[in-house]
Amino acid sequence: MGSGSEYIKQRFAEEGIAVTDRQAASFERYYELLVETNKVMNLTAVTEFKEVVGRHFVDSALITKYYDFSSVNKMIDMGTGAGFPGIPLKILYPHLSVTLLDSLRKRVDFLRNVVDNLGLKQVTAVHGRAEDFGRDPEYREAYDLCVSRAVANLSTLSEYCLPFVQVGGFFISYKSGTVDEELEQAKPAIKMLGSKTKKVEKFFLEDAGRSMILIEKKEKLSGRYPRKAGLPSKQPLK
């Protein structure tokens, strides 16, 4: 095992997360594919090895300290970008059936290459908009869990993500900085979408404040949501 894999194991261990040699090797290969593709496509502003491990891999995985992933079967990562947090979570929990959704086809092509290179099973990368997929019977209320590190206000993200979650399941939003005001503003939207904020976990990682908002789906979604493409971002629910 190379020094890169050793560092990965060490860095995860510092956060109380055990990583096997095989998983560490998968993360190292993922890093190689990421920085190589990043030369021709804008996937990440962070490319230094240790920074990627901390800010992307470990950050993606920290939710496992607050949520029981052994009970999750089907998960969707909305607005996955370069695969965060979906691919790190799949590496750590191989039993997961994962859908990676992104609106840019080039990123989806990259994700499919990563999935093939790492030999990940039960992972599908799909190209499209959350508003469209959230109305598709194959995806609507079909998942135990929706995760997202996408950058948008919580009202908008909730309308993107909660349509995918079955009753009793969760949407987990990864956020930077303080979220109290944003959470308060999103309360009406979360209620309209048949859901309720269960808890908010706050911590520091790589000297930056992070929050994870866990929202539980309490009842089936009204047929009004999600609204047509573009509206959730232009006119967030209030």
CA distances from 205 to 11, 57, 100, 217 (A): 12, 12, 24, 28
Where do we find the tokens 């590496």? 91
Q: Calculate the dihedral angle through the C-alpha atoms of 108, 147, 139, 104, rounding to the nearest 10 degrees.
A: -20
Query: Whole-angstrom Cα distance, residue 171 to residue 158?
Result: 8
Query: Whole-angstrom Cα distance, residue 238 to residue 203?
Result: 28
pLDDT of residue 1: 63
pLDDT of residue 178: 82
Query: Whole-angstrom Cα distance, residue 214 to residue 195?
Result: 10
- Collect the ranges in the chain with pLDDT lower than 50: none
Domain ranges of the chain: 55-234
For 147, phi and psi rounded to 5 degrees? -120, 155
In the annotated binding site, the residues are 79, 84, 130-131, 149
The tens digit of pLDDT for each residue in 144-202 reads 999 999 889 999 999 999 999 999 999 999 999 889 999 999 999 999 999 999 999 99
Query: Whole-angstrom Cα distance, residue 159 to residue 222?
Result: 11
pLDDT of residue 23: 99
Order of strands, edge to edge, in the sheet holding 165-176?
Answer: 123-127, 97-102, 74-78, 143-148, 165-176, 208-217, 195-205
pLDDT of residue 207: 79
Tokens of 85: 């947090």
In the annotated binding site for S-adenosyl-L-methionine, the residues are 79, 84, 130-131, 149
Question: What's this model's pTM, rounded to 2 decimal places?
Answer: 0.96
Q: Which CATH superfamily is domain 55-234 in?
A: Vaccinia Virus protein VP39 (3.40.50.150)
